[in-house]
Every structure is written in structure tokens, then in C-alpha cells.
Amino acid sequence: MDAPLSPGLYIVATPIGNLGDITRRAVEVLRGVTAIACEDTRVTGKLLNHLGIKQRMIRYDDHAGDHARDGLLALAAEAPVALASDAGTPLISDPGYKLVRAARQRGIPVTSLPGASAAIVALTLSGLPSDRFLFAGFLPGKAKARSDVLRAMASVPATLIFYETAPRLQDALEAIADALPGREVAVARELTKTFEECRTSVPAELIAHYAAHPPKGEIVLVVAPRGEDTAEEADVDALLQAALAANKPSQAAAEVARVTGLDRKTLYARALELK
């Protein structure tokens, strides 16, 4: 029998696909708390069911009013309360920030149990520089706002990480090609699940690939930092050859210059060699 948990808020990371990624400590805490605050009681209920845990669940998101937050914190002041999201680490593009802030302001102990987060899994898989990165959550859905966000990040000297959904992937890749020309991008999909995939290339190749193979599932985009990211020669040749299949050398060079940010004249010379 585990020792009883002391009162406070326990932030519990849960798997992002593979249920084997739940930690032993997460199981102990989910079992030992008085209640679990969660985004969707059906989703968390399924996880608890899988773990053989019966627990009281309280629906919570950051749009919940002060009243709901006060109730949860009053409980956490007296007893252990867990916070879980549908998948991965709470607060990471998920609810919890306002709850944690309010708990700390009231002197309620907060502890965080580490576990899966799609951003980190994607970064480690991408083959892109991992020494410095900026996680920017979801890109806006509207074209102008998306482009503004990407342009504002053009000068950030770090690998960029965005969450995406399959239906918006192509628009996001087009926007990255326009706002951040020449960057390699990793599309990390269905992480930790059976059909996990991570494809790192220049946006034009990714756009062509996903036009032919419409993606399914959840996606993280990892964008190479400025400077260290120029498309490799082999990629450029592949792009030119793809463009040459349907275009004259001048048009092919212009198209590849647009998506890679490389010099059009140099690309034209190379297109003539390849033709």
C-alpha cells in the first residue's frame, strides 16, 4: 500500500497514444488522490478504466469561472487533487495554467509529474537542432494571422515547434514555405502510436507528399532554425527535378526559389544541368 498523498495539486502527464507510457508515479497518484480534475471525463475515464482505477472526476478547463476554480482549490487545500488532460502534459496547449497560478497564489502545494508531451517527442525525432527551441502551440487558423505569427518568428534563433491538425497541414506548410523560406520542416504524426511517422524535408516536398498521401491523426511541426537550415543540395536537386517534370527550367527555378529562398539564377543554372 502506497503512503497517503499530502494535500495539494498534482499535475499528472498521461500518454499521447501508447498507454505503456504512463509512469508508475502517475498511476500511484491517480489512484491515491481524492479527485481528478480533467478536460473530458469520458477521455480520462477510459484511461482510468484501462488502469483499473475508480476515481471521482471533476470537469475543468481554464474557461471555468473563478467559482469552479475556487471549489477545486478549496478541495486541494485539504486533500490531494490531480490535474490531467486528455493526452500528454497538462498546461501544454491544454488547460491548467490558471489553476496552477491560483494555487500558488494561495500557498497550495503544487507538484508536477513528468511524462509524455508531443512537442518533445517530435523534437527528439525530427533530426533538427535540439539545443534551443521555441514551442509556439497551435498556429492560428486564419491565413493572415498565421502568416503574421510565422513572420514574427523568422528572426528567432531557435528550432520552432507547432501543434497542428491533419486538415490544416497543407495550409500550414504553404505558410511556412512563404514566411520562412529555405527551412527544413519535420512533420511528426501519430507519435507513439502504431502508424507513427516523422518526415523531415523542405516544405515543397512535404506538400507534394501529403497531397498524394492525405495525412490522418495528430501532428507536430518542427521547423529548423534560421541559418542552419538551408535545404541540402540533394533536396534541391530533388525539388528541381520534380518541378522540371511539369515546367520549363526558368519556371522550375522560380518555383524552387520561392519555396527554398535560394537564389533563382543559381537554381536556373542547376536546372539546365539537370534537364
Which residue number places its CB atom closest to ligand SAM?
Answer: 88
Least distance from C-beta 206 to ligand SAM, angstroms? 15
Residue number with CB closer to ligand SAM (94 or 235):
94
Least distance from C-beta 239 to ligand SAM, angstroms? 26
Least distance from C-beta 58 to ligand SAM, angstroms? 19
Are β-strands 218-223 and 159-165 bridged in parallel, bridged antiparallel, or unpaired? antiparallel
**Residues 45-104 contacting ligand SAM, CB under 6 A:** 85, 87-89, 92-94
Interface residue with ligand SAM among 192, 241, 247, 251 (CB under 6 A) is 192
* DSSP string of 170-201, one letter each residue: HHHHHHHHHHSTT--EEEEESTTSTT-EEEEE
Helix 233-244 × helix 249-260 angle, to 10°: 140
Check binding of 177 to ligand SAM (CB under 6 A). no
CB-CB contact of 134 with 155 (8 Å): no
Which region among 216-224, 225-233, 237-245, 252-260 touches ligand SAM (by CB under 6 A)?
A: 216-224
Question: Can you give the C-alpha Rg of the chain in angstroms?
Answer: 23
Check binding of 126 to ligand SAM (CB under 6 A). no
Question: 125 to each of 9, 30, 37, 68, 180, how far by Cα in Å?
Answer: 32, 29, 31, 39, 21
Least distance from C-beta 167 to ligand SAM, angstroms? 11
Check binding of 23 to ligand SAM (CB under 6 A). no
Count, in order, helices (H) and strands (E) of the chain: 11, 10
**Residues 104-123 contacting ligand SAM, CB under 6 A:** 117-119
Residue number with CB closer to ligand SAM (94 or 229):
94
Residue number with CB closer to ligand SAM (61 or 237):
61
Q: First-to-last CA distance in the chain?
A: 72
Of 215, 185, 182, whose CA–CA distance to 197 is shortest? Answer: 215
Check binding of 39 to ligand SAM (CB under 6 A). no
Conformational region of residue 137, where left means phi above 0, alpha means psi within -120 to 50, and beta covers everything else: left
Residue number with CB closer to ligand SAM (85 or 200):
85
Contact set with ligand SAM (CB under 6 A): 16-17, 85, 87-89, 92-94, 117-119, 163-165, 188-193, 218-220
